[in-house]
């Protein structure tokens, strides 16, 4: 049975101000067009940064440049094999997360357990979902070996996770950044796995934000904010008078953590805005003549393709109100005519992207929409 989760917090003036900063930056970012090639490059940079900083929080010793070499399979670093595996796992989980978001997936136990499995599989294969821990664990200070936190007992983990998932899916009226902040805190509090809970908490946070419309075109990295101020991260998330979950942590007021989180998100959003604005000043080729060669459906599809780098046949069908068979014929026609390319050819998860020839049309679609 789910254990009901009722977080204790207040929205301070600073928190509200940060939420306004986030919204202002997101609104401006949505109206800044970039060519798909530039967007793809910036997204990949954000993935690499997220991977580097999230694993660094856990003690990973690879530099950002080394992380890139590992992800691209361009380098091996003797004595850092464990670090390399952690990087590959986190990067693979980020990629999977993007696919779930593109499909509009709902947060559930299977997604969380699969996310953790990918993190721990080190990029080798698509693993089966991993069950929550079946024993007690403790969090120790790496320098002194002192216990800094004792999570809830294993017998309570399933109920607590069910309660958290129910709360996430029921919190539609709260601002999404607040939901993400609280979910991050509670996941870390439950600590449902012996290893990998921190990385999975940060991935879950990212997925909640992306599903809530705060993806910022996939260009930001909250992990960098945490990693550059680790003391602040641990101070904000270590709430309660005791290191024992049952002695105050469960009922602790998490206002401090929420303020820390939304301030970091505001900073990350504003950095993305600066980055995109600078890139946008470089200009792009005028492709208006090419735009006129498209039929009305293709022009409408540009908006979907501008929002998602990769789309499924289901998304295209929903856009036009088509039955699956009719949609499949339309997608095949667009592939044959060179408008789309197949990204994933499998029957169950077939997906598409715009053909490179039409890349710059996505930028024009974004400009006209704004």
Bridge partners (DSSP) listed for residue 344? 351
Tell the burial category of 23 from Cβ atoms under 10 Å away from its Cβ (0-12, 13-18, 19+): middle
Q: Is there a contact between 194 and 133 (Cβ–Cβ < 8 Å)?
A: yes
- Give, for all 370 residues of the chain, the pLDDT tens digit: 899 999 999 999 999 999 999 999 988 887 776 666 667 777 888 888 899 999 998 888 999 889 988 988 877 888 899 999 999 999 999 989 988 998 889 999 999 999 999 999 976 767 899 999 999 998 876 667 777 788 999 999 999 999 999 999 999 899 999 999 999 999 999 999 999 999 999 999 999 999 998 988 778 788 888 888 888 887 888 776 677 888 878 788 999 999 999 999 999 999 888 887 777 665 444 445 666 778 888 888 887 887 777 889 888 988 888 888 899 999 999 999 999 999 888 877 788 998 888 877 765 554 444 4
- CATH class assigned to 13-278: mainly alpha
Strand partners, 355: none
Burial of 232: CB neighbours in 10 Å, binned 0-12, 13-18, 19+: middle
Residue 33: what pLDDT? 67
Is the separation of the CB atoms in 188 and 237 below 8 Å?
A: yes
The 10 Å CB-count burial string (b at 16+, else e) for 291-308 is beeeeeebeebbebbbbb
Check if 13-278 and 288-369 are the same fold. Answer: no
Distance CA 242, CA 225 (A): 27
Structure tokens at 124: 């080798």
Q: Where are the alpha helices (DSSP H) in 12-63?
A: 13-30, 36-57
Q: Render the burial of 45-57: b for 16+ CB within 10 Å, e for the rest.
A: ebbbbbbbbbbbb
Q: What is the pLDDT of residue 235?
A: 80
Pair 96, 267: CB distance under 8 Å = no
- Please report which helix (H) or strand (E) contains residue 321, including its range: none
pTM of the full predicted structure? Answer: 0.76
Q: What is the DSSP letter of 180?
A: H
Give phi and psi for 276, each to the nearest 5.
Answer: -70, -40
Does the domain formed by 288-369 have CATH 3.40.109.10?
A: no
Domain ranges, ordered by start, for the chain: 13-278, 288-369
């Amino acid at each position: 049975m789910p254990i009901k989760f009722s977080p204790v917090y207040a929205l301070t003036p600073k928190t509200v101000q940060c939420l306004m900063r986030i919204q202002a930056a997101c609104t401006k970012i949505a109206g800044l067009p970039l060519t798909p090639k530039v967007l793809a490059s910036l997204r990949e940079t954000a993935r690499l940064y997220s991977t580097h900083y999230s694993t660094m929080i856990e003690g990973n010793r690879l530099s950002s440049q080394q992380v890139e070499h590992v992800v691209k399979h361009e380098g091996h670093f003797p004595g850092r094999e464990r670090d390399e595996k952690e990087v590959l796992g986190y990067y693979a989980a980020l990629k999977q997360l993007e696919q779930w978001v593109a499909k509009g997936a709902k947060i559930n136990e299977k997604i969380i357990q699969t996310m953790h499995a990918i993190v721990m599989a080190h990029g080798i294969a698509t693993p089966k979902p991993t069950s929550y821990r079946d024993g007690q664990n403790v969090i120790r200070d790496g320098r002194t070996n002192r216990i800094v936190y004792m999570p809830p007992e294993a017998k309570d983990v399933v109920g607590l996770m069910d309660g958290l998932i129910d709360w996430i899916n029921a919190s539609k009226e709260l601002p999404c950044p607040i939901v993400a902040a609280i979910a991050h805190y509670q996941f870390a509090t439950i600590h449902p796995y012996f290893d990998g809970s921190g990385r999975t908490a940060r991935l879950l946070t990212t997925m909640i934000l992306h599903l809530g419309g705060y993806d910022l075109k996939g260009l930001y990295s909250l992990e960098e904010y945490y990693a550059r101020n680790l003391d602040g991260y641990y101070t904000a998330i270590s709430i309660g008078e005791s290191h024992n979950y049952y002695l105050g942590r469960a009922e602790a007021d998490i206002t401090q953590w929420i303020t820390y989180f939304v301030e970091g998100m505001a900073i990350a959003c504003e950095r993305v805005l600066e980055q995109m604005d600078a890139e946008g000043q470089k200009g792009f080729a005028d492709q208006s003549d090419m735009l006129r060669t498209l039929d009305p459906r293709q022009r409408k599809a540009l908006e979907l393709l501008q929002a998602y780098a990769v789309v499924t046949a289901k998304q295209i069908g929903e856009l036009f109100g088509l039955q699956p068979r009719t949609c499949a014929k339309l997608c095949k026609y667009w592939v044959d005519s060179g408008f789309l390319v197949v990204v994933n050819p499998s029957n169950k998860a077939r997906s598409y992207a715009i053909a490179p020839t039409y890349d710059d049309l996505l930028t024009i679609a974004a400009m006209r929409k704004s």
